[in-house]
Amino acid sequence: MKILIADGYNLLYRARTGWGKGDNPIVFNFLRSFKALVEKFNPDKTYFVLEGRPKKRKDLMPEYKAQRVYSDHDDFYRQKDLCIDFVKNWLPVDVIRHEDHECDDVIGYLATAKHVKDECVVISSDTDFIQLLSTNDERVKLYNPIRKKFIDAPEYDYVEWKALTGDKSDNIPGFDRIGPKTAEKLITNQDKLKEFLSVDDRLTRFKMNVELIRFEDVDDTKLEVNSGAYDGEIIKGIFESMNFDSMLNEKYWNNFERVFTSGTKHA
């Protein structure tokens, strides 16, 4: 089977940029880009993964992601909810979430545990997913929708490399004077890495960073799953109410219906 796993919020935030007009430009941008991705990869099954609470990481480091400031200057939150409701209700997609885990962990579970024998394509521009490629498992591929290309697997342990450099976007501090190139030299030479980590509390900090960055095991009994079903009449009515005229012309509409009635199947 071919499995498509979309990082939901990553795609939703990406939809804030674009040329959509009217009262719901983010909805317009999102639906067009999501349809294009499903069409491109033609999966047997599609997941749209949403965020939960990073419970374990917050317990380990209360400052985790605490620096993030969110803006609603473009009416994002209302439109985000519209997009999620649309996918949940009217597309043949499994919308999935775990209350106590970030979407990264859930995506990791889907790609490496639930669909361990299937071809999986993860859609996200988040570099954390590079760790899925470090397993040398050719089943799993990472596609960056901004760069429009697959990401190559690194020749080193990505999680340990990032534990040295840190991750400003998640408020995870790295080590002084350790940039990407120096981190790679340390990770690819275990003697030098061991020597570096033997000073002061570096080893403790390193281990904590690894735990913060590496995907957590997910209790699949607590996953929230909502399976939508395609309804062309309702979708057409939504497009009309939002004045998505270009999505209603015969050529685009027929293509949209083809993608979501034959391009994905529940398994």
Token couple for 221 = 């009994």
Q: Which residues pair with 227 in a beta bridge?
A: 94
Arithmetic mean of pLDDT over the chain? 94
Structure confidence at residue 18 (pLDDT): 78
> In this predicted model, what pLDDT tens digit does every residue of 216-238 receive, in sequence order?
999 999 999 999 999 999 999 99
For the ranges 12-21, 143-152, 186-195, 203-212, the lowest mean pLDDT is seen at: 12-21
Whether residue 66 has pLDDT greater than 90: no
* H, E, C per residue of 148-185: CEECCCCCCCHHHHHHHHCEHHHCECCCCCCCHHHHHH
Residue 145, Cβ neighbours under 10 Å: how many?
Answer: 19
What 8-state DSSP symbol labels residue 99? Answer: T
* H, E, C per residue of 23-76: CCHHHHHHHHHHHHHHHHHCCCEEEEECCCCCHHHHHHCCCCCCCCCCCCCCCH
Burial of 128 (0-12, 13-18, 19+ CB in 10 A): buried
> In this predicted model, what pLDDT tens digit does every residue of 37-52 receive, in sequence order?
999 999 999 999 999 9
Average pLDDT over residues 95-108: 97
Average pLDDT over residues 77-85: 97
> In this predicted model, what pLDDT tens digit does every residue of 252-266 receive, in sequence order?
999 999 999 974 444
CB-CB contact of 129 with 107 (8 Å)? yes
Structure confidence at residue 136 (pLDDT): 61
Structure confidence at residue 138 (pLDDT): 85
* Closest among 86, 103, 114 to 228, alpha carbons compared: 86
Structure confidence at residue 19 (pLDDT): 77
Token couple for 105 = 């962990």
Provide, rounded to the nearest whole percent, the portion of the chain with pLDDT above 90.
90
Whether residue 107 has pLDDT greater than 90: yes
Architecture of domain 2-154+218-262 in this structure: 3-Layer(aba) Sandwich (3.40)
Residue 231, Cβ neighbours under 10 Å: how many?
Answer: 14
CA 122, CA 116: separation in Å to the nearest integer?
A: 14
Residue 77, Cβ neighbours under 10 Å: how many?
Answer: 12
> In this predicted model, what pLDDT tens digit does every residue of 177-198 receive, in sequence order?
999 999 999 999 999 999 999 9
Average pLDDT over residues 109-138: 91
CA 10, CA 215: separation in Å to the nearest integer?
A: 17
Structure confidence at residue 213 (pLDDT): 97
- The CATH 3.40.50.1010 portion of the chain extends over 2-154+218-262
